[in-house]
Homo-oligomer: A and B are copies of this chain.
């Protein structure tokens, strides 16, 4: 990874102008934290903008500063890799509303205090708008491609629909053009879990944190646990965990304890997922980003017709779904493909078989690698 590291750089841009938001406000002093990998060519034609998912960030290749884990897409982005940074200049920006350097509810407002719940509710299009401003600042008129999985796919769709001249291609993986009632329901459970935590305190917990106290970690962990179930397939969970019992730290073989410890491995796994998440993520950001996803409805933005959303685009599209993804099942991608067909766009659509459910877009799925490589050309 030495070569990749040399080509990887972290930046933060403060937008020169206030960012107009779908909610009607103009947000001043917006910071956009982003990572670039590779080299922008002379005519600035080789840039690929990768949008991250709900709980990820700009650290697409570089290790996460809090966990030390490899960048979330280090397996796919790099020299000679599926997204080949010997050829492409890859940009990944922390989304507006998040907590890894871009402006969000934990950022300081003009009064010097964290926004907390004074932060405006944002949309997926607002997130994209901030990244278009980043492209403007970088002097990149047109991207080689936009790429994104899950919420990243929503941003890719929003980008292609609302800034159709700014990209020649859009790759949308395991995503949807609008959140279903069930999607909203799971997010609402997570939000209520956070808000039910007394340490959430109406969103004002940053003071407690800076004094060594705690925020709504318990609520956030429960939110993460509920969401995590939706990221895995029932089959994958059965294969990996089934009803296997957890061995004890003292070496005791797994057994039913007739108590409320994590007897089953799946319980232990979920608890770990919940707890480790709270070390790296801000609870208010979780509220705002899930809200943006729930509000997302690309057709609604365009007169109720999804095909209309893509009317101005000449981009090539590629849609990928996974057969075991029940969060954004194949039918969601098919709906987008039909709309793109109706709008006369160049679109390819493939459902891949992979056992990992929604998380497949982040994992070792060779067929996905081939699709990405083939589509980016």
Query: A interface, how many residues as a size bin?
Result: 35 or more
A267 at interface (Cβ–Cβ under 8 A)?
yes
CA A192 to CA B267, docked complex, whole Å: 10
Contact between B179 and A229 (Cβ–Cβ < 8 Å)? Answer: no
Chain multiplicity (copies)? 2
Q: What's the least CB distance linking A311 to chain B, in Å?
A: 22
Q: A237-B181, A238-B180 are in contact. Are A270 and B221 (CB under 8 A)?
A: no
A221 to B188, CA, bound (A): 12
Greatest chain B CB density within 10 A among A181, A188, A195, A237 is at A181
Q: Are B178 and A121 in contact (CB-based, < 8 A)?
A: no
Interface presence of A166 (CB below 8 A): no
Contact among B23, B197, B226, B295 for A189, CB-based, below 8 A = B226
CB-CB < 8 A to A256: which residues of B?
295
| A196 touches which of B188, B191, B221, B226 (Cβ 8 Å) | B221
Question: Are B260 and A287 in contact, CB atoms less than 8 angstroms apart?
Answer: yes
A258 CA to B118 CA, complexed, in Å: 12
Pair B181/A238 contact, Cβ less than 8 Å = yes
A residues with CB within 8 A of B: 22-24, 117, 120-121, 178-182, 184-186, 188-189, 191-193, 195-198, 218-219, 221-222, 225-226, 229, 234, 237-238, 240-243, 256, 258-260, 262, 264, 266-267, 270-271, 274, 287, 291, 294-295, 297, 300, 326
